[in-house]
Amino acid sequence: MTLEVNPSDELSRDPRAARRAANALKTDLRDLRVQLAMLNHRVGAQAELRDIDLDCLDLVSQHEPVGASALAKLAGLHPATLTGVIDRLERGGWIVRERDENDRRAVVLRTQPERNRDIYQLYSGMNGLIDEICADYTPEQLELIAGFLRRTTVAGVHATARLEEEGA
C-alpha cells in the first residue's frame, strides 16, 4: 500500500517542479532586468543623463555621503571616467561635491533632494503601475516577494564581487 500525501505537499517537495520553477523564475528575472534597463534609458534621456550617470546617481542615493573612490569601486568605473560622470551630475544639479574635512584630497558626494524629485516624477508612471500590481497581494505576500528581492540583491553583490576579483 502506498503512502498517501497531501497533493499540495507533494507538489512542494517534487524536486523537478522546484527546478522548473527556479529556472522559470531566473528567466523572468532576466526579462525584468532588461525591461528596467530600457525604462531607465528612457528616464535618463528625459533627464539628459547617460545610463551610467543614472546608475551612479542611484548609487550615491543609496550610499551617501560617499567618496569618489568608493563610488568608482561600487560602479566598476575607472577613476578618470568617474570624474566625468560626477562633472555631468554636478552640472545638472543632481549632486554636489564637498571637500572631506578629514582628508582634504577626497571629495564627498551628496544628492540634491529637491532636484531628485524630478527623477521621481519621471518614474511616477511605473510607480503607479507597481502600486496597482501590489494591490492584488496581501502585505504578507508582498513581504515574501520583497524578501526574495532583497536576498537576490545580496546575491548580486556577491556575484559582482566575484567577477571583479576574477577580472583583476
59 touches, from a copy of itself, DNA, none (C-beta below 5 to 8 Å by class): a copy of itself
- Residue partners of 6: CB distance under 8 A and separation at least 6: none
Q: Any contact of residue 63 with DNA (CB under 7 A)?
A: no
53: left (phi over 0), alpha (psi -120 to 50) or beta: alpha
Closer of 3 and 80 to DNA (Cβ): 80
8 Å CB contact between 72 and 66: no
Least distance CB 69 / a copy of itself (angstroms): 16
C-alpha cell read off for 50: 547617460
Question: Which listed option, a copy of itself, DNA, none, makes contact with residue 36 (CB within 5 to 8 Å by class)?
Answer: a copy of itself
Cβ burial of 30 (10 Å; 0-12, 13-18, 19+) is exposed
Task: Enumerate residues 30-59 that contact a copy of itself by CB under 8 A.
Answer: 30-43, 45-46, 51-52, 55, 58-59
Task: Return the C-alpha cell found at 125.
Answer: 508612471
Residue 121 binds which of DNA, a copy of itself, none (CB < 5-8 A, kind-dependent): none
Size of the site for a copy of itself (CB under 8 A): 78
Beta bridge partners of 118: none
- The interface partner of residue 63, options being DNA, a copy of itself, none and the CB cut-off 5 to 8 Å by kind, is none
Window 93 to 132, contacts with DNA (CB under 7 A): 97, 102-107
Q: Which of 71, 75, 81, 76 is nearest to 110 (CA)?
A: 71
- Provide the binding-site residues for DNA, judged by CB under 7 A: 50, 52, 67-69, 72, 77-86, 88, 97, 102-107
